[in-house]
Amino acid sequence: MNGWIRTALLSGMLGYRALFAWNTPGLFVVSLVLAPILQLIFFLVLGSSLGYGNPSFFVVGNAMQASAAAGISGLVAVIADERRFGTLSYILGSPGSPIAVFIGRLIPGVVLGTFVSVLTGLVGLVFIGSVPSTGQLLFFVTAAVVSSLSCSALGLGLSALGLIHRDIYQVATAAYLAVLVFSGSNVAREDIPSAVRWIGELVPTTHAIDATRTVLAGASARGAMASLLIELSVGIAWGAIALLGMRVLAYRARVTASLELY
């Protein structure tokens, strides 16, 4: 068990340094920090031009959505890049647990997602001149952690497809855009057509956004905790699907000997 945890931690640390572009800090900051802030400004202006929502609505939605970029795109890119650099077959062929390696990759996703989410939220709140209480801020940070966890779990599940499918970037793009539309990050969920509104229940960030908006509107954190627990359940469900998918698809990848195809 110790070996498994050590592998997971090492994988997280090495993956963070090598595959999350940490070796080029300028680029890292620009793509992970600047891009979500620009997205927030874009939706603030769009909402204002259409007379929709209030600034705080967009700040919370886009702050939580920022964790999806790090969690989904980051996690998917990790497996896709392993394949591109030709190291995926070594991971699956090594005597260590490949599952531990991939679980380890969750750690930077969650840490970065939380960091970006909180930073985007703080910048947004300062920008709109809103001053939340310490309790509200603590809840915001907690929601960002849970949201990042569930986004990374979804990212891990999607990245499992990278074991058998060569071009998974479009899957990541589609998933990110689905979260953007159905989570209610920029459109109130009651304005989403009822035929597709249920999708929002299954994607990460939906319930974290609901909970944070409720708390920032002045409601008690205790009441919003239920939504946060649902968000956590969504993350756990995606994590379970990811683990099962990894196991089944890793086996399938060995059988079809398709790992070196790029």
DSSP string, 9-73: HHHHHHHHHHHSSTTSHHHHHIIIIIHHHHHHHHHHHHHHHHT-S-HHHHHHHHHHHHHHIIIII
**Would you say 104 and 10 are in contact if contact means Cβ atoms under 8 Å apart?**
yes
Per CB under 8 A, the list member of 53, 104, 108, 204 interacting with other proteins is: 53
- 170 binding other proteins? (CB under 8 A): yes
- 34 binding other proteins? (CB under 8 A): yes
Task: State the Cα torsion 73-76-82-85 to the nearest 10°.
Answer: -50
| 191/201 with CB nearer other proteins | 191
- Residue in the structure block whose two tokens are 């060569």: 166
- 229 binding other proteins? (CB under 8 A): no
**Would you say 4 and 90 are in contact if contact means Cβ atoms under 8 Å apart?**
no
Least distance CB 150 / other proteins (angstroms): 21
Per-residue exposure over 77-93, b if at least 16 CB sit within 10 Å of its own CB, e if not: bbbbbbbeeeebbebbe
Residues composing the chain: 262
Per CB under 8 A, the list member of 177, 217, 248, 261 interacting with other proteins is: 177
Least distance CB 196 / other proteins (angstroms): 10
- 64 binding other proteins? (CB under 8 A): no
- 153 binding other proteins? (CB under 8 A): no
| 65/152 with CB nearer other proteins | 65
- 192 binding other proteins? (CB under 8 A): yes
Task: State the Cα torsion 199-226-139-109 to the nearest 10°.
Answer: -40
- 180 binding other proteins? (CB under 8 A): yes
- 35 binding other proteins? (CB under 8 A): yes
- 45 binding other proteins? (CB under 8 A): yes
Q: If DSSP codes are grouped into helix, strand and coil, which group holds residue 105?
A: coil
- 198 binding other proteins? (CB under 8 A): no
Chain residues in the site for other proteins (CB under 8 A): 21, 24, 27, 30-31, 34-35, 38-39, 41-42, 45-50, 52-53, 167, 169-170, 173-174, 177, 180-181, 186-187, 191-193
